[in-house]
């Protein structure tokens, strides 16, 4: 399971290519290096599970161009690797969470704040995800029960990827 990410706010006219390169380097390079390191053992066993972590931002979030591009690249790598490994017993999938109530989220987004209201307005279920909910999706994709699932992005996002619900 690969989970790494750094995000910086950039609107289209403000994207600095050095920042973009740094975000891609942090968000993609470790995933590629980790999979390359573990792949020989998985091939030898004829079995393996690769689960990458993407983000709801891939459906479009203003001000997150560089971060969203890095996570969209993760989704593309997942599909490409799934095709390359389809006959090996190794599956490759992605989990794309929406906003999750972690310590870091709460540090940056206090309960009851305008920022929290904005996040919740994007989620039809009108609540934040819990770390355990994301972990359950990952655990499933790592299990034998998910042996016929490969190349997929599973959005665990309270419905955020299907559109904004009107109250």
Spatial distance between the Cα atoms of 62 and 4, rounded to a whole number of angstroms: 21
Spatial distance between the Cα atoms of 86 and 127, rounded to a whole number of angstroms: 36
Position 61 pLDDT exceeds 80: no
Q: What's the pLDDT score for residue 32?
A: 96
Position 57 pLDDT exceeds 60: yes
Spatial distance between the Cα atoms of 51 and 146, rounded to a whole number of angstroms: 11
Question: Could you give the residue ranges of the DSSP H alpha helices within 28-165?
Answer: 29-45, 65-85, 103-108, 114-121, 131-142
Task: Report residue 49's pLDDT band, with 50, 70 and 90 as the boundaries.
Answer: very high
Helix pair 17-27, 65-85: axis angle to 10 deg: 40
Q: Report domain 17-156's class.
A: alpha beta
Kindly state the average pLDDT of the residues 29-54.
97
Q: Which of 28, 53, 64, 67 is catalytic?
A: 67
Look up 148 and say whether it is catalytic. no
Task: Report residue 87's pLDDT band, with 50, 70 and 90 as the boundaries.
Answer: very high
To which H or E segment does residue 156 belong? Answer: strand 153-156
Q: What's the pLDDT score for residue 155?
A: 97
45 token code pair: 């066993």
Task: Report residue 67's pLDDT band, with 50, 70 and 90 as the boundaries.
Answer: confident
Q: Yes or no: say if 77 and 28 are a contact pair by the CB < 8 Å rule.
A: yes
Kindly tell me the sign of the dihedral angle through the C-alpha atoms of 29, 155, 10, 76: positive
Q: Which residue has the tokens 């690797």?
A: 81
Position 90 pLDDT exceeds 70: yes
Q: Yes or no: say if 107 and 87 are a contact pair by the CB < 8 Å rule.
A: no
Q: What's the pLDDT score for residue 56?
A: 86
Mean pLDDT of the chain: 91
Give the lowest-confidence range in 37-41, 46-50, 63-67.
63-67
Kindly state the average pLDDT of the residues 153-166.
89
């Amino acid at each position: 399971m690969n989970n790494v990410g750094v995000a910086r706010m950039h609107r289209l006219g403000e994207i600095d290519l050095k920042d973009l390169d740094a975000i891609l380097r942090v968000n993609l390079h470790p995933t590629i290096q980790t999979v390359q390191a573990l792949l020989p053992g998985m091939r030898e066993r004829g079995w393996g599970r690769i689960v990458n972590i993407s983000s709801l931002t891939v459906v479009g979030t203003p001000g997150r161009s560089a971060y969203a591009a890095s996570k969209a690249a993760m989704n593309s790598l997942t599909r490409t690797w799934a095709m390359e490994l389809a006959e090996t017993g190794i599956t490759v999938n992605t989990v794309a969470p929406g906003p999750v109530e972690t310590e870091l989220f709460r540090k940056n987004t206090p309960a009851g704040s305008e920022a929290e209201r904005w996040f919740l307005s994007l989620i039809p279920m009108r609540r934040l995800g819990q770390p355990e909910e994301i972990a359950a999706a990952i655990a499933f994709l790592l299990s034998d029960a998910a042996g016929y699932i490969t190349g997929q992005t599973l959005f665990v996002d309270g419905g955020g990827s299907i559109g904004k619900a009107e109250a």
